[in-house]
Every structure is written in structure tokens, then in C-alpha cells.
Chains A and B, each alone.
Chain A
Amino acid sequence: MKKLLYLSLSMCLILSIFSCKRSGNEQFPDRPVKMVVYTAPGGLIDITARKFTDVATKYSDATFVVENRPGAGGVVGMQSVLQAPADGYTIFAGTKSNISFLVGANAAVNSDSLNWMAMLMADPECVITNRNAEIDTWEEVVADAKAHPGEQIWLGPAAGGLDHIMAMKLWEKSGISCKWIPFKSGGAAMTALMGGQGVVYVGNPRDISGKPDLKIAAVSSEERLPQFPDAPTFSELGLSGLDNEIMWRGFAVKKNTPQIALDWYSNLFEKVTGDPDWRSFWEKGGIKVVHYGPEKFRQIIEADRKEFHHYLSSLGLIEPEMQTDPQGAFDIASFELKTLGILMVQILLLALAGIRLKSRLFHYTGRILFPIFFISLSLFFWMLSARFADGDAYGPAVVPRLWAFLLTLCSLILYLKVLAGKESEDPKPGRLDIVLRFIVLLMLYIPAIKFIGYFISTIVFLPVAMWLLGYRNRIAIIVITIAWMLLSYVLFFRILHVALPQGILISQIWQG
């Protein structure tokens, strides 16, 4: 057994050495750079990151690894950058949408905690219409909107996003009011435009490439884009102050990243933005390739933030009370009252069941508790929905309330069926001890992954689990464990770049 112990210990030591970060700041970079993309693969920012890493190989020997960390409008991605050390080896590929989200959601991350190194692209906002529809020029759009106030349908991605704000600006400047229909993605909204379900889509010039049915009715630019000579600018159409409405994309690192890394990036950005392949790739889609350094970039972000604040407040997406409540969660006093209410309902339902079933209640515990649990859950969701109920017939609170109501209804039927004696008794308990033992083991294993790392905790977990189940073939246990360690290390960690945790404690010991 001792040999085994030594073997496993040395094995996990080797793995943690390999997976831990090596330090040494003489030269940057001396190991792969991780580029965090805040969307799933396939979007333009993902393409930006991947194209960048592709072009960068011409000018540098550095290896870039693109990691998609979608979620919460970029907060998940930013957090992963902020959790990594400020050494320049983790870089964030971001867009103007991130700023909009941070303003709107009052999220736990502040865009100032990142050093926004360089803005590389300015993608003009534009109004896109369906070439085959009756209304396909900006003048016609305005005339139609004025003829049917509040009825013209504009399509686009999620409400409160960049394109929605652009639409609101346009409505404001041209004195019209229209409906904004938010789709799951820009692609779905464009399909609806092609199907004639709406009049206008707000997006960027590149959106229409490959889609001959769509045309740009107006574009935000000082002069017409050479790639789209037929598309008028807003100022030509008599709308002033809309010449510089853009979607930007750029890169950021954590604050306090060493100057040596910043210089290296600045140099690389300069070279990549000058690369003919990079330029033509973006410019043919009407995107302006730029390289704005940190100073100018920060000013742009500051201006964006003010603007988002203004428009999101007018949409009601930023409530004044949320300012004081950074979690944006709920107000405690009324919450406790509601919990009390739910508790009362639970006690009432249980008491009723007790009266009806008497001692037989113990044979029906599970059958009774499940409906009560579902009813409590529904009540909880229903009560919390008051926070975002806006009285609108199709507002955000309507659908959760519908499901909560139906879940309560079904659960009540189940509950009454038990009281009426129409349900069978609880199943006879089997080996609950094994189940509980493993639930506890897994509950220990998951935090262990966080603190002492995936590899060390797994090398303990697997043999313990097999042992607990009564498997006694020691050789097989070791072979299987080692095989799994190798598989997870080589396949997941090395080839697929799954960022298996190295453990907070371990990496601190390593660095300290």
C-alpha cells in the first residue's frame, strides 16, 4: 500500500508542476497567452479574436489560445480575466456591448478594473431594410412611421443593447415612435426582416454580406462607405449628430499588468492593424480598422458609459433603488415576510395532510413533501416576480407567473390525490446509506477541486469511490486512476484547453 501512496503522490506532484504557471519575467511572452472571448463561438468578436491570433503568428512566435467564456453579457469572461494574475497572459476581447451590460445590470464587475489596451475596430451602426419590401429607404421608413405612429415594427437583438439604443436615438431625432421587437439573435431578427415581418433591422454593414435581399438604408459615417456607395449617411438624410455611432471591438488586460507586457501588446497591435490581410478582411465589410491606444480608448468608454446610463434609465432598465443595492437582488424586510408566508402555507398543507392521513402520513412522506415543495417554489417565484412586474400584458413577470400557477395547480392535484388515498405509498427505502455516502463524498470533492485542484482531488476521489463500493482489486484501482488522470490531463487540459482548476491553495503556495 505504501508504494501505491508514493506513486500516487509523486504522480499528482508531477501533474501539478506541469499544470502550474511558471514565473520568470525576463521575456514576454514565454508561454501561451489565453484570449478570453465573452460569447459562444461564431459571433463577430469570436471571429475577431481568432482572426487576430491567426494574423499575429506572422509577427510573433507567441501562442494564443482562444477561450470562450460566455455569460452575463461579458461579466463571466471579465471575471475570469480578473481572477487570473495580472501578468498579461490572460487577455479579454471585448466590445461596446460589455460596457452597456455593465451599466445596465449593475454587475459586480467594474470596467475600470481592466486596462483597456487598444480599440482595434470601429464598426458603423446602420439601418438595414428589405430590398423587396415596399418600404426600403429611410424617407419611406419615416413617412410610414409617421402615418402609423407607434405601430411600425423594428427588429433587432435583445432590448437595451447597443442596436436598441441606436434605434431609440433615431426615433428621437426624427420624431417618430415605433415598436422594438427583441429577437434571440441578430440572425433571427434578420430572418424576420427577410420574411417581411418588420420594416427595419438595426445592425452593422457586415450583417448584409451574403444576404442579397437586404440593403443598407442609412449608415452612421461622415462620408459614404466606399464598400457601400449606394448607402446614404445620416447627415445626408438630414439627421445631424449621428456620424459617429459605432460598435467597437478591442482588447483589455487586468489592471497593473507589467509595462513589458503592455509594450509588447502595443507593438503587436500596431503590426497586426497594419497587416494587409487583416485590413482587407475587415474593411470589405465596411469596418474601419483603427489602433487607438489606452488614453483615447478610455475617453471613448467614458462617453459610452454616460450615454448608456441616459438611455437605459429612460427604458426603465436602471432603477434608482438598484443603485444602492449593488446585488440587484431584493429588499430584505419584505423578503422575510414573504418567506414567512410560504412557511405558513407549508405548515398548513402538512397539518391538513396529518389530520387526514393520521399515522399513515409516515408512509406518504415523500408523496406529500414533493407537492408541498413545488407549491412553495412556485409561491417563491411568484412573490419575487413583483420586483419586475411592470403591469404590461406581455411584460417580464407574466410568463413566470403562468408557469408558477400551473405548477401549483398540478401539485395541488397530486396533493389531493394523496389525501384521497389514490396514490401508492412511498417506495421502500433501499441502500440509502450508499447514496448518502456518495452525496457527501461528491460534496467534499467539488470544493476540493477548487482549493487543492482537479488533479490532486481526483487522484484521491477515484480510489476512495471504488473502495467505498467494495472494489478491492488494488492493481486495477491504481491502473484505472492513473489512466483517468492521464486522459483528463492530456485530452482535456492540454488538447481541449479546459481550464481545470489547479487549486487556489496550491497555486498560492507555488507563487508565494
Chain B
Amino acid sequence: MEVLTHLIEGFGYIAGWIPMLAIVTGVIFGILAGAMPGLSPSMGVALLVPFTYALDPSVALILLISIYIAANYGGSITAVTINAPGTASAVVTSFDGYPLTKKGKPGVALGISLIASTVGGIVGTLILIFFSVPLAKVTLQFHPAEYFALAFFGLTTVASLGGKNWIKAFTAVFLGLLLRTIGTEQTGVTRYSFGITELFDGFNLIPILIGLFALSEVFRQFEAHEFEVQRFESGKTHWPSIAEYWRLKWTILRSSIIGTVIGIFPGAGATIASFISYDVSKRMSKHPDEFGNGCPDGVAAAEASNSSSVGGALVPLLTLGIPGSASTAVLIGALMIHDLDPGPRLFETAPEIVYGLFASLLIANFVLLALGLLGSKLWIKVTQVPREVLFPLIFAVSIIGAFAVNNSLFDVITCLAFGILGWLMRRYDFPVAPVVLGIVLGRIAEENFRNAVKMGGYQIFFTRPVSVAILCVAVLSIAIPIIRGLLQKKTPEKNQ
């Protein structure tokens, strides 16, 4: 195994206190950046780029990649503790993580999200190391028709998100899709901007995310007057036992593989991956009703897949020289500043960079585990802060976070508007996550749909086997829950 020898050399390159210091610094900074709503993983990476000029290129890359990994995990901390997912992919983590916190079991949610992240990150890295070349070939075969099919598949997960309220879930997703049409589209036409400069590119996702989740949750608790601090279930924090983790092994493994594979596709890899893994886990579960009410499998599926997507996103970066995500775009920039051209030749011209990167990915995941365990003890205290103090601080964090995305007060106003909308929607039993899904996938679906039709007519979706296969799975995944829902509705009526 040639790869293994190179990998061992890779560990050799990064043995030493400077690379290790870079990993630890990167992980700490990454966790904090991820936990801060408004600082996405890509911003976290970008913020440290200027500090890497003076560093050796390989150390710089190790530092940045550690931030990337840790920030993906960090997003789950606020999703679990205060229902404020820091990134779009952590939205899914909040589905079950936050209910666990409300039940007085934040330790379970935090513990599982950490372990699932670590395992997901390692699985993703291993797949990257051993299969990046064949996977890159798959990426190249992907036509806009397949990208559209994938986005469509992502959208269909709505059917199971809504449960009995599936019409409301669909209403919410179409609202998100409609709002996503605001802004300049691919042929240069600006839609629905009303002359407002900030709307030329449409709404920013992060302020909407903060509004729909964090603010609307605070408003909801205001109305319900839930000012009691949720004491831990048995008086002290409950952390999951090894047996509890072990029970999740298949969920984590399956979600990690889904996450890596979907993460390869440039665009919204991590987000689609977490929605799809959650959907798949729910379908394969023996007790799907628990999902959404604090099911450990839900947290594990979401976190394993969004962390493993890091490995996937690095596949096109290393093998094709093309960024697979916003964060890898920043990494490419950082590599170029250090006079390295990302792409397949990097394996020959700078093996110490590539294999050092692989080795540091593995180590960074273990460092993340160690620091995450320490940190969790701290994060859990957030759930014990008096509500009268916590709520104003959530407002402060939300507003500075919404502002920091683009240094724009318009985003802060957007955040508040969506906070009010989200609160009202929840009040009338509309789920808010589908709005986010619609906004994330709307543009990808539209661009690829129109490009595919332009390139090969409408028949193209049915003449390409991969596209047909994905579309069939997608249609089934819409149809099955609805049919099942209709059947279930009928049976109890008969019994009565």
C-alpha cells in the first residue's frame, strides 16, 4: 500500500511542536468560531488567513484545516444549548439536540454530537485518503441534471420533516424557495430587488438562520413564560455511557458515509448531507416517532454527516483543484498565497503538504475530541444560566452575529424580521426548518435545472441513469410518508 507509506511519512512531517501547536490553536479557535452564530466555518478560516503569511505553508494549512473541522462541530453547541444553529448544517442537529436539552439532558446531546462529529470526521478523512481519486472521477461525471436531482432529493426530505403536518412543511419549503428567487440570477437578471443594494444577491442565509431559530425560540419562550431553568434530570449532568454510544454505531457510520459522498459535490454539500442522513436514519429507525422529540440517533446522524462532509469537500480541492465548499475556497486562496497551486500535481510537487494534511486531519479530530470533552463541561453551564440573563445575551449575540456576516445593519433587520416570522409560524404549527432548506437549495436547484434543460432539453433528466435513479428515490421518499400518513389517519377512524 503506497498510500500507507506516504501517510506514515505524513505523520513524520507534522511531528513536532509547531504543527501540534497549530492544530490545538486551530481547534480551539474553530470551536469558538463555530459556536458563535454569524461566524460560519468559512469565515472562521478566512479570519485567520492573514495570520498565516508568516508561517510555513504546511503549518498554515494545518492551522486552517483544524479550524475548518472544529468549526463544523462548534456549530452544534449553540444548536443544542440555545437552539441557535451557527451554521446551516447544524440546523438538523437542533431538531433533536435542543429537545434533549429541554428535557434536562443537554449532556446526552453534547456528548453524542461530539462523538458523532469525531467519528464522522475520521471516516470522512479515511475515505478521502483512500478513495479520493475514484471519487473525483465520479464528481466529473456529474452533470447539472444530477445536481438538480440531488437538490430535489434534499428538498423531498421535507415530507418526513413535517410528520402529520406535511402540508405545512411543504408550505414552509415553498416559502423558502420563493424567497430564494430574490436577487440576481444566473443570466444576469436581478429579480425582486426593489432597487435595494443589499437584495441584489438575495438574502444572506446566516441572519435568517439566527432569526428563524434563536430569536423565534426566545419569543416563543417569552409567550409561554418559560423562565424556569431546566434542571438536569437527575440533579446532575448525565453524560452518555459507552453502551449508549455503541448503540449508535450504525447510524454514525451510515451518516458518515452519506456525508462524505454528498460532501464531494460543490455547493451545499454539508447541509444536504445532514438533511438526507437524518431522513434516512429516521426511515430506518424502529421508532421514527421519537425523531424530533430528542432522539439520540437524530443528533448522531446530523453531526456525523456534517463533519464527514469536510473530507468529501477536500476531494475536489486536492484532486481537481476546485473548491467543494465556501471553506475550501478560502483554503485554496490560502494555498495560492503561499505559492502552491492546489490540484493533482500537488501530490508530486509537494507531498509533504498533502500527506501532512491527511495526517493532521486525523490528529485534529482526536484533538477535537479531547478539547470538546473539556469544553462540553463548560457549554453545559449555558443551559443553567438564569433565563432573565440568557435571553438578553441571546439577543446581543444574535445581533452582533447577524451584523458580523457582512458588516451590514440590513442583515440585522432581516434577522429580526425572520425572528418575528419564525415565532408566528411556530405559533401556528408551521415548522421553520423547511424554510432554511428551501433557501439553501433553491438556487442550486434552479441553476442546475435551467442549465440542464439548456444543455439537453427536458428529456435529459430521464436519459441519464444517475439522475433517473436519484429522482426515483426522491419521488418515493415524498410519496411513502404521505401515503403512510393517509393510511394511518384512516385506520384509527375505523377503530372508533
- What is the interface of chain A, defined by CB distance below 8 A to chain B? 40-43, 46-47, 50-51, 53-54, 66-73, 75-76, 79-80, 104-105, 107-108, 153, 158-161, 179, 181-185, 187-188, 190-192, 194-198, 209-212, 281, 312, 315, 317, 326-330, 366-367, 370-371, 374, 377-378, 381, 384-385, 388, 393-396, 398-400, 403-404, 406-407, 410-411, 413-414, 417, 426-427, 429-432, 434-435, 438-439, 442-443, 445-446, 449-450, 454, 458, 461-462, 465-466, 469-471, 476, 480, 484, 488, 492, 496, 498-501
Q: Which residues of B contact A54 (CB under 8 A)?
A: 53, 337
Chain B: which residue is nearest A43 at the CB level?
B333
Return the contact of B392 from the options A188, A427, A465 (Cβ within 8 A).
Answer: A465
Contact A72 B46 (CB under 8 A): no
The segment from B116-124, B165-173, B476-484 found at the interface with A is B165-173
Query: What would 15 more interface pairs be, CB under 8 Å, given A43-B329, A158-B186, A159-B186?
Result: A76-B198, A79-B197, A104-B188, A182-B186, A187-B322, A187-B323, A192-B143, A192-B144, A198-B455, A212-B343, A328-B193, A394-B450, A431-B222, A438-B219, A469-B391
Q: How far is B177's CA from A38's CA once the two chains are assembled, in angstroms?
A: 26
Q: Which residues of B contact A188 (CB under 8 A)?
A: 266-267, 322
Contact B337 A492 (CB under 8 A): no
Contact A329 B194 (CB under 8 A): yes
Q: Which residues of A contact B332 (CB under 8 A)?
A: 42
With most chain B CB atoms within 10 A of its CB, the pick from A108, A327, A394 is A394
Judge if B133 is at the interface, Cβ distance under 8 Å: no
Count of B interface residues, CB-CB < 8 Å: 106
Contact B266 A187 (CB under 8 A): yes
Q: Which residues of B contact A179 (CB under 8 A)?
A: 454-455
17 contacts between A and B (CB under 8 A): A40-B46, A42-B323, A50-B333, A70-B406, A179-B454, A182-B186, A191-B140, A195-B143, A210-B342, A393-B453, A399-B446, A407-B174, A439-B420, A442-B416, A449-B403, A458-B396, A484-B393
4 cross-chain pairs, A with B, having the tightest CB-CB distances, nearest first: A210-B343, A160-B188, A327-B195, A72-B200
The segment from B10-18, B66-74, B407-415 found at the interface with A is B407-415
Q: How far is B332's CA from A471's CA once the two chains are assembled, in angstroms?
A: 49
Q: Which residues of A contact B424 (CB under 8 A)?
A: 366, 370
Instruction: Report A90 CB to chain B, min CB distance, Å.
Output: 12
Contact A366 B427 (CB under 8 A): yes
> Which B157-191 residues have a C-beta within 8 angstroms of A?
167-168, 170-171, 174-175, 177-178, 181, 184-191
Q: Which residues of B contact A439 (CB under 8 A)?
A: 219, 416, 420
Q: How far is B450's CA from A393's CA once the two chains are assembled, in angstroms?
A: 9
Chain B: which residue is nearest A417 at the CB level?
B167
Judge if B387 is at the interface, Cβ distance under 8 Å: yes
Q: How far is B330's CA from A271's CA once the two chains are assembled, in angstroms?
A: 28
Contact A76 B396 (CB under 8 A): no
Judge if B49 is at the interface, Cβ distance under 8 Å: yes
Return the contact of B224 from the options A47, A430, A461, A492 (Cβ within 8 A).
Answer: A430
- What is the interface of chain B, defined by CB distance below 8 A to chain A? 39, 42, 45-47, 49-50, 53, 139-144, 167-168, 170-171, 174-175, 177-178, 181, 184-195, 197-198, 200-201, 218-219, 222-225, 227, 266-267, 316, 320-323, 326, 329-333, 336-337, 339, 341-346, 386-389, 391-393, 395-396, 399-400, 403-404, 406-409, 412-413, 416, 420, 423-425, 427-428, 430, 442-444, 446-447, 449-451, 453-455
Instruction: Report B150 CB to chain A, min CB distance, Å.
Output: 14
Contact B143 A197 (CB under 8 A): yes
Q: How far is B153's CA from A239's CA once the two chains are assembled, in angstroms?
A: 46
Contact B451 A426 (CB under 8 A): no
Chain B: which residue is nearest A480 at the CB level?
B389
Contact A41 B409 (CB under 8 A): no
Chain B: which residue is nearest A108 at the CB level?
B197
Return the contact of A53 from the options B50, B143, B331, B428 (Cβ within 8 A).
Answer: B50
Contact A498 B403 (CB under 8 A): yes
Contact B330 A42 (CB under 8 A): yes
Q: How far is B388's CA from A439's CA once the two chains are assembled, in angstroms?
A: 16
Q: Which residues of B contact A209 (CB under 8 A)?
A: 321, 341, 343
Q: Which residues of A contact B266 (CB under 8 A)?
A: 184-185, 187-188, 191
Q: How far is B413's CA from A429's CA once the two chains are assembled, in angstroms?
A: 26
Given contacts A72-B201, A76-B406, contact A445 B399 (CB under 8 A): yes
Q: How far is B384's CA from A371's CA once the two chains are assembled, in angstroms?
A: 39
Chain B: which residue is nearest A431 at the CB level?
B225
Q: Which residues of A contact B443 (CB under 8 A)?
A: 184
Q: Which residues of B contact A182 (CB under 8 A)?
A: 186-187, 447, 451
Given contacts A184-B267, A430-B224, A498-B403, contact A394 B454 (CB under 8 A): yes
Contact A328 B197 (CB under 8 A): no
Return the contact of A469 from the options B49, B188, B392 (Cβ within 8 A).
Answer: B392
Instruction: Report B348 CB to chain A, min CB distance, Å.
Output: 10
Contact B392 A466 (CB under 8 A): yes
